[in-house]
Amino acid sequence: MDPGLLAQHVFNGLMLGVIYALVAVGFTLFFGVLDVIKFSHGDVVMLGAFTALAVSVGLTGGGVTSSPLVLAAMLVAAIASMALVGALLARLLVLPLRRAPAINVLLITLMAGTVIREGVRLFYPQGSNPKPFPRLLPGGSSELGAFTLRHDSAILFAVGVLAIVGVHLVLTRTRLGLAIRAVAQDPETASAMGIPFTATVLATFAIGSALAALAGVVNGLYYSEISFNLGLLLGAIGFSAAVIGGLGNVYGAILGGFLFAALQTIGAVALPFASAYKDVFAFAVVIVVMAIRPAGLLAERSAERV
């Protein structure tokens, strides 16, 4: 294969991997602090994208034409509102069921996700139709043989990587990160030592949902289109990435996101018969891997959760 073409496929896979990793990290944060699977997470990704789109439409309709200003407002609104939504879902739905069977939390978050998805479909203007997402990043591209690097894609990739690095720094270098890791390891002992359990859980859900909002906006800017069912596939992929990496392990979730993107790329490029079924191919490989390593590739140790 031509080296330039190979580089093109590698970069495309890395771009997808960043989006999947942002979603997967949220899943693993939620599981790390409460041992719960929040199945509305994919729909929060979608809601963040639609929030950003609504802000863009409103500002453009109000006469604001500055792309950087519109983009900044979209990001701030989407991230802040989804952080609030995540904290509210945790406070109103997840924490009250903390001591209930895990299936109860799974079902109630699944139903919450359905409410979010159907609410967008029914109440957003023509919400059942795919929506064009505004192109606000610099256009143009740089070419090196068969490799074409879109400038907007490079910016989106850098933003995603910086967000992942930011999560790492928050977890390892801040008091909030120390509190999150303490609650993940032993919530009773953490509470006895003065760490506010509820506030830490709400902050964790806010961070995970803020990352989901960023993933939704990045996905919209990359594909220039969003739809009300966007979160169904992204949620399934993000959850699969978190599981294959090892639920509760942030770095495993990141690895799982890039691995899933690599599998899709291989299915679309290296296996001609699978190009139309790249998602099926990727999920099939994940099933095989999970059968071999049920705890994930980076199985967490009790002292290393989150």
> In angstroms, what CA-CA distances link 93 with 16, 96, 145, 191, 193?
31, 6, 53, 21, 26
Q: What is the pLDDT of residue 98?
A: 87
What CATH code is carried by the domain that includes residue 22? 1.10.3470
pLDDT band at 290 (very low <50, low <70, confident <90, very high): confident
Residue 274 — pLDDT band, cuts 50, 70, 90? low
DSSP state at residue 96? G
Give pLDDT, residue 303.
37
**pLDDT higher than 90, residue 27:** yes
Amino acid (one-letter) located at 44: V
Is residue 12 pLDDT above 50, yes or no? Answer: yes
140 assigned to some structural domain:
no
Report the distance separating Cα 290 and Cα 49, nearest Å: 31
User: To 5 degrees, how large is the angle CA 20–CA 106–CA 163?
Assistant: 25
In angstroms, rounded to a whole number, what is the distance separating the alpha carbons of residues 200 and 167? Answer: 15
Residue 305: pLDDT over 60: no
Q: Residues 120-169: pLDDT tens digits?
A: 999 999 999 999 999 999 988 888 887 888 999 999 999 999 999 999 99
Q: Could you tell me if residue 165 is inside a domain?
A: yes
pLDDT at 113: 96
| Whole-number pLDDT of residue 179 | 95
Strand partners, 148: 143
Helix ranges (DSSP H) in the chain: 3-34, 41-61, 67-89, 102-123, 151-173, 175-185, 187-192, 197-223, 230-245, 250-269, 278-292
Total number of domains in the chain: 1
Q: What is the CA radius of gyration of the chain?
A: 19
142: in domain: no
Asked if residue 256 lies in contact with residue 24, where contact means CB atoms within 8 angstroms, the answer is: yes
**Bridge partners (DSSP) listed for residue 49:** none
pLDDT score of 268: 82
pLDDT attached to residue 272: 67
Query: Shortest CA distance to 202 belongs to which of 171, 220, 176?
Result: 176
Q: Which carries the bigger pLDDT value, residue 163 or residue 292? A: 163
Per-residue pLDDT tens digits for 172-226: 999 999 999 999 988 999 999 999 999 999 999 999 999 999 999 999 999 999 9
Written as one string, the DSSP assignment of 162-222 is HHHHHHHHHHHHSHHHHHHHHHHH-HHHHHHTT--HHHHHHHHHHHHHHHHHHHHHHHHHH
pLDDT at residue number 99: 86
Give tens-digit pLDDT for 71-98: 999 999 999 999 999 999 999 999 999 8
Average pLDDT rounded to a whole number, residues 32-42 = 92
More reliable by pLDDT, 188 or 271: 188
Question: Is 139 part of a structural domain of the chain?
Answer: no
| Nearest residue to 69 (alpha-carbon basis) of 80, 79, 84, 59 | 59
**Does position 267 have pLDDT exceeding 90, yes or no?**
no
pLDDT > 90 fraction of the chain, expressed in percent and rounded: 73
pTM to 2 decimal places: 0.93
Report d(CA 95, CA 252) in Å as an integer.
25
**For residue 301, what pLDDT is reported?**
46
Return the half-sphere exposure (C-beta side, CA atoms, 13 A cut-off) of residue 170.
17
Does residue 48 carry a pLDDT above 80?
yes
Taking the C-alpha atoms of residue 23 and residue 25, their distance in angstroms, rounded to an integer, is: 6
Q: How confident is the model at residue 25 (pLDDT cuts 50, 70, 90)?
A: very high
Q: How large is the average pLDDT for residues 249-269?
A: 91
**Res 270 pLDDT > 50:** yes
* Domain ranges, residue 53: 3-134+147-304
CA triple 137-233-99, angle to 5 deg: 115
2 or 229, which is more confident: 229
- pLDDT beyond 80 at 271: no
Cα distance between residue 133 and residue 301, in whole Å: 42
